[in-house]
């Protein structure tokens, strides 16, 4: 009597030992390795200029000319002499304080105007609220180069050209649309029950804005201060076109003037000036950096994580 043959079951495509998962794991490992290599290359591309910015200002012109640019400085205290020479050249000192005032005034005024506009659009019975939002925000849809010629003509006709108040007004106005966009997005996510509770306690519209909504918006406000101050501080184009004199011209055009005025001193003095120019933004990031992630999360979701 012959034994009945039992058919051998076929392996399922996704069962253990099938070649497809091994190929998938191999492809995943290759992709992960390629990602690590890409991140490493980008990190090196960022670190190399920063290393040169840190090392070169610590050298004298003679040491810079006679040694490799990657060689460590023999006297790191030379940094302070180069920074002093850069500070006294090409009006860099006055430009530093001018940009500092533009950044602080421009960021704070823009945030104030953006908060007022966002509150009116999201909370008050204003007709055509979305139209007014688009009207203000449309200022960011065009290249900033389009504003140069009409703005220059306007400033020369109104005697605002090469004045501190003219530069401060421009930097404040140019930052309003983005501040309105961020504050409107945040205010629209706050539950109306919070405002209703404040009204029951006798709070007016101004009281609700300043005592309820603005304290809740600390994270987005910190993000806006960081972003707007950094943009104003790094602006070169408008500072070059709208100003000429010391005390009015911002620091970025002054750094270009330093490069020409300090040609005999060489790159150590120029990079020492660039190091001076980078200190305020670094300090502001260290001061407000802990609010950055939470502020971006609040702006996107309206909820504290």
Query: Residues, the chain, total?
Result: 305
**Residue 70 and residue 181 in one domain:** no
> Residue 293's pLDDT is what?
66
**Residue 39 and residue 182 in one domain:** no
Residue 175 lies in a domain: yes
Residue 208 lies in a domain: yes
**Residue 87 and residue 223 in one domain:** yes
What string of pLDDT tens digits covers the 305 residues of the chain? 455 555 555 555 555 555 555 555 677 778 878 888 889 899 888 888 888 888 888 988 888 888 887 788 888 889 999 899 889 887 888 999 999 999 999 999 999 999 999 998 888 887 888 888 888 888 788 888 888 999 999 999 999 999 999 999 999 999 999 999 999 888 888 888 888 888 888 888 888 888 888 888 888 899 999 999 999 999 999 999 999 998 899 999 998 888 775 556 688 888 899 899 999 999 998 888 777 766 555 554 544 44
> Residue 155's pLDDT is what?
95
pTM: 0.78
Residue 17 lies in a domain: no
> Residue 47's pLDDT is what?
87
Which of these three, 15, 47, 76, is where a domain ends? 76
Residue 211 lies in a domain: yes
Q: Which domain holds residue 43?
A: 34-76
**Residue 59 and residue 152 in one domain:** no
DSSP 14-25: TSTT-HHHHHHH
**Residue 215 and residue 247 in one domain:** yes
**Residue 129 and residue 239 in one domain:** yes
Q: What is the CATH number of the domain that holds 235?
A: 1.10.3720.10
Residue 168 lies in a domain: yes
Do 90 and 277 form a contact (C-beta atoms < 8 A)? no
**Residue 122 and residue 64 in one domain:** no
**Residue 71 and residue 85 in one domain:** no
**Residue 46 and residue 186 in one domain:** no
Domain count, the chain: 2
**Residue 120 and residue 166 in one domain:** yes
**Residue 109 and residue 258 in one domain:** yes
**Residue 140 and residue 235 in one domain:** yes
Residue 22 lies in a domain: no
DSSP the chain: -PPPPPPPPPPPTTSTT-HHHHHHHHHHHHHHHHHHHHHHHHHHHHHHHHHHHHHGGGS-HHHHHHS-TTSPPS-TTHHHHHHHHHHHSTTHHHHHHHHHHHHHHHHHHHHHHHHHHHHHHHHS--TTHHHHHHHHHGGGSS-GGGGHHHHHHHHHHTT-TT-HHHHHHHHHHHHHHHHHHHHHHHHTTS-HHHHHHHHHTT--HHHHIIIIIHHHTHHHHHHHHHHHHHHHHH--HHHHHH--STTTS-HHHHHHHHHHHTTTT-HHHHHHHHHHHHHHHHHHHHHHHHHHHHHHHHHHHSS--
Residue 14 lies in a domain: no
Residue 29 lies in a domain: no
> Residue 234's pLDDT is what?
94
Which of these three, 16, 47, 76, is where a domain ends? 76
> Residue 1's pLDDT is what?
46
């Amino acid at each position: 009597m012959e034994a009945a043959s039992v058919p051998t079951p076929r392996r399922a495509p996704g069962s253990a030992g099938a070649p497809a998962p091994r190929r998938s794991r191999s492809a995943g490992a290759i992709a992960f390795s390629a990602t690590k290599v890409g991140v490493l290359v980008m990190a090196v591309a960022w670190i190399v200029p920063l290393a040169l910015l840190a090392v070169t200002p610590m050298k004298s012109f003679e040491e810079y000319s006679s040694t490799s640019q990657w060689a460590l400085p023999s006297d790191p205290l030379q940094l302070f002499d180069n920074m002093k020479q850069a500070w006294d050249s090409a009006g860099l000192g006055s430009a530093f304080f001018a940009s500092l005032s533009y950044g602080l005034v421009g960021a704070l005024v823009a945030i104030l105007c953006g908060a007022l506009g966002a509150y009116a659009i999201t909370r008050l019975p204003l007709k055509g609220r979305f139209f007014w939002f688009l009207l203000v925000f449309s200022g960011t849809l065009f290249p900033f180069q389009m504003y140069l010629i009409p703005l220059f003509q306007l400033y020369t006709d109104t005697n605002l050209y090469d004045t501190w108040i003219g530069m401060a007004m421009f930097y404040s106005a140019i930052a309003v649309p983005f501040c309105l966009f961020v504050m409107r997005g945040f205010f629209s996510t706050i539950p109306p029950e919070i405002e209703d509770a404040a009204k029951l306690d006798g709070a007016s519209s101004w009281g609700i804005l300043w005592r309820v909504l603005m304290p809740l918006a600390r994270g987005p406000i910190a993000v806006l201060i960081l972003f707007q101050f950094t943009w104003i501080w790094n602006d070169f184009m408008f500072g070059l076109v709208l100003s000429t004199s010391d005390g009015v011209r911002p620091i970025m055009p002054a750094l270009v003037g330093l490069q020409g005025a300090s040609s005999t001193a060489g790159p150590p003095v120029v990079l020492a000036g660039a190091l001076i120019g980078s200190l305020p933004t670094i300090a502001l990031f260290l001061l407000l950096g802990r609010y950055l992630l939470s502020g971006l999360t609040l702006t996107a979701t309206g909820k504290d994580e």
